[in-house]
A and B are shown apart, each in its own frame.
Chain A
Amino acid sequence: MTLRRNFVCVCAVALVLLGLQGAAFAVQPDEMLANPQLESRARVLSEGLRCPVCQNQSIDDSDADLAHDLRVIVRQRLQSGDTDAQVKQYLVDRYGDYVLLEPPFKTSTLVLWLGAPLILLAALGVALVFYRRRQETSEDTQRPLSAEEQKKIAALMDPQDDGRKGTL
Chain B
Amino acid sequence: MELCELTAHELGKMLRNKEITVPQIVESVYKSIELKDNDIKAYISLQKEEALKEAAEMQKRFDAGEDLPPLAGIPITIKDNICTKGIKTTCASKMLQDFVPPYDATVIEKLKAQGAIIVGKSNLDEFAMGGSTENSAFMKTRNPHNLECVPGGSSGGSAASVAANETILALGSDTGGSIRQPASLCGVVGLKPTYGTVSRFGLVAFASSLDQIGPITKDVEDAAILFNAICGHDEHDATSVSMEHPDYTKALEKGISGLKIGLPKEFFGEGINSEVKEIVLKKVEELKAKGATVEEFSIPSIDYALSIYYILASAEASSNLSRYDGVKYGYRTESADGLNELYEKTRSEGFGPEVKRRIMLGTYVLSSGYYDAYYKKALKARTLIRQEFDKAFTKYDVIIGPTSPTTAFKIGEKSENPLEMYLSDVCTVPVNIAGIPAISVPIGTDSKNLPVGMQIIGKAFDEMTILKVAYNV
Real binding pair: no
